[in-house]
Amino acid sequence: MFRQWSPSSLKARFRSFFPSLFTTPQSPIRAMSTTANATYGHKEHNYTMLQAFEWYVDGDGKHLSKVKSELPRLDHMGITAMWLPPPTKASSTNSVGYDVYDIWDLGEFDQKGARGTKFGSKEELVDTIKTAKDKFGIITYIDAVLNHKFGADRTERFKAVEVAWDDRTRNVSDPYDIEGWTAFDFTGRGGKYSDFKWNFNHFTGVDYNAENGKKAIYKILGDNKGWALAVDSENKNYDYLMGADIDHAHPDVQKDLFNWGNWVLQETGAFGFRFDAIKHIDENFMREFVKHVRASDGYSQVFCVGEFWKDSLTDLEAYLGRFSEQFSVFDTPLHYNFKQASDEGDRFDLRSIWDGSLVKNMPVDAV
């Protein structure tokens, strides 16, 4: 028979097993996750975020409705915030959303084979977020995929140079013209919300030449073009990850993305972001994006967490140390500690679970 523990008993037992976690010196800055929950929700303590989806969710367009139906249970469990999957239109109907096509389409327009996303319609998205907040005090964070785009409407010809896969700073070809999928017209949306159309000038690289079918990393050439410098140093420069890599230094790109940041919160009723693949995005852009969103009336306390997926406490601490705004990242080293514990079973010393983790060293900024 399993023993049932009350929440207070569980908390006390947890503290007895891991006292060091609760004696770590805390930053004088209050965790933005706490502030966001307190400001925008109506729960008083024990703030807990849930990832309200997983990679293999059925692609029947009903997930958002399912999340809504589960809200009473989530409330009873003590959930105070949820991270929903990317709400933006992807390049295919059954996509989880990380191959983003149109950030201004939240399942409203007939694009890429369907009106809704894999998870449901815009109406269902807004209704789920509103119900969660108004009835249960659960606030929502938007999964923002701002590193790249997929599913371009047309190809374009432009000059590029091939670079090495393991050293993006080393050219392995002479410059030449290629044909890349970089023209995004969004004809199905017809300019609603944003009339910005993307072309090759708004990207730094692609990985496919449609003219000859060759796969390689192509750095797009032109005035003021090049990889972002304030990115992770893996592969000497890890700006390029996949698809058409967004040039966050381009002023037109910045304007459109900043506008979207304000709009998507106002349009959906969400109060924060989970940013995808931030180690590939220029740090300066990320700082300015967060600052811009928090400068809007009513959104000064929005929570922002980024996915900097690297098993390196040093790199995570350095990234956070350069961020002028309060910002959080997922505790990747802790994830790998848990994996090691799972692999080793009873051979793992549970007292070392926090070793080298962000939650031990910078708990205010750890998720």
Q: Which pLDDT does position 34 carry in this prediction? A: 63
Q: Which pLDDT does position 39 carry in this prediction? A: 72
CB atoms near residue 65 (< 10 Å): 16
β-bridge pairing 154-164 and 176-183:
antiparallel
Alpha helices in 137-166 (DSSP H): none
- Report, as an integer, the average pLDDT of 321-342: 95
Sign of CA dihedral 350, 356, 360, 366: negative
The CB-side HSE value for 307 (13 A sphere, CA atoms) comes to 12
Note whether 164 and 172 are within 8 A (CB): yes
Residue 312 has pLDDT above 70, yes or no: yes
Note whether 40 and 271 are within 8 A (CB): yes
Q: Which pLDDT does position 24 carry in this prediction? A: 43
Residue 190 has pLDDT above 60, yes or no: yes
pLDDT per residue as tens digits for the range 96-108? 999 999 999 999 9
- Report, as an integer, the average pLDDT of 349-355: 96
Q: CA geometry: angle at 199 spanning 193 and 200, to 5°?
A: 150
Q: Which pLDDT does position 59 carry in this prediction? A: 84
Note whether 40 and 301 are within 8 A (CB): yes
Cα separation, 58 vs 320, in Å, equals 36
- Report, as an integer, the average pLDDT of 4-15: 46
Q: Which pLDDT does position 32 carry in this prediction? A: 58
Task: Show the tokens assigned to 337.
Answer: 């500690």
Q: CA geometry: angle at 180 spanning 165 and 196, to 5°?
A: 115
pLDDT per residue as tens digits for the range 65-81? 999 999 999 999 999 99
- Report, as an integer, the average pLDDT of 310-316: 97
Amino acid letter, residue 76: H
The chain-wide mean pLDDT, for the chain, equals: 91
Note whether 310 and 330 are within 8 A (CB): no
Q: Which pLDDT does position 324 carry in this prediction? A: 84
Q: What is the per-residue burial (b if ≥16 Cβ within 10 Å, else e) of 292-303?
A: bbbeeeebebbb
> CA dist 179 to 150, 158, 215, 239, 249, Å?
15, 7, 12, 21, 23
pLDDT-based confidence at 352, cuts 50/70/90? very high
Note whether 66 and 34 are within 8 A (CB): no
**Catalytic annotation, pick one of 108, 124, 256, 276:** 276
Residue 214 has pLDDT above 90, yes or no: yes
Cα separation, 33 vs 160, in Å, equals 43
**Catalytic annotation, pick one of 179, 234, 288, 307:** 307
Q: Respond yes or no: is residue 211 known to be catalytic.
A: no
In percent, the amount of the chain with pLDDT more than 90 equals 85
Residue 5 has pLDDT above 60, yes or no: no
Q: Which pLDDT does position 180 carry in this prediction? A: 98
β-bridge pairing 272-275 and 303-306:
parallel
Q: Respond yes or no: is residue 234 known to be catalytic.
A: no
pLDDT-based confidence at 29, cuts 50/70/90? very low
This prediction's pTM: 0.90
Q: Which pLDDT does position 44 carry in this prediction? A: 65
DSSP state of 184: B
In percent, the amount of the chain with pLDDT more than 70 equals 88
Residue 149 has pLDDT above 70, yes or no: yes
Cα separation, 168 vs 234, in Å, equals 9
24-38, 177-191, 311-325: range with lowest mean pLDDT: 24-38
pLDDT-based confidence at 47, cuts 50/70/90? confident
Question: Phi and psi (nearest 5°) for 82?
Answer: -135, 145
Q: Which pLDDT does position 67 carry in this prediction? A: 98
**E strand segments, the chain:** 49-51, 81-83, 89-90, 100-102, 139-144, 148-149, 154-164, 167-171, 176-183, 203-209, 214-220, 244-246, 272-275, 303-306, 328-329
